[in-house]
Copies of this chain bind each other. A is one copy, B any other.
């Protein structure tokens, strides 16, 4: 599908719509199938031992699929997550950003589905995987 919002437009949308969390995430680049997003390793995402928290990984997967959708349908603020299933497979090492690679598997009239692989920057093993379903309002 054609890209209708580029990296800069997505970042501006985040700043505007989600000021509370926009500083935690960064669009790395759009891909033919989706997007790559970064979670900046802030203190507030950490758990004892320095590992990134589950909710922070959830948020990363969620925003990655969301922006992958918006990149293709434009700034539809009302798309909402209806389901997220996430598997935590390895403890991410402390002090590294996380990179989420999302791909859209379906972008339908009313529902979109994407899956996500999360890795610690510079390492190969998958730390977590997730699938998100979004309900898209009529447009």
* Residues in A lying within 8 Å of B, measured CB to CB: 17-18, 20, 44, 46-48, 53-56, 58-59, 62, 77, 80-91, 105-106, 108, 110-111, 113, 115, 117, 126, 129, 131, 133, 135
Contact = CB atoms under 8 A, between A and B. Distances in A.
As for how many copies of this chain the complex holds, the number is: 4
Interface hub of A80, A81, A84, A87 (most chain B Cβ within 10 A): A87
A108 B87 CA distance: 14
The listed residue with most B CB atoms (<10 A of its CB), out of A55, A59, A86, is: A55
Contacts of A89: 82, 105-106, 108, 113
Given A54-B62, A58-B54, A105-B126, A133 B87 contact: yes
Nearest to A16: B48
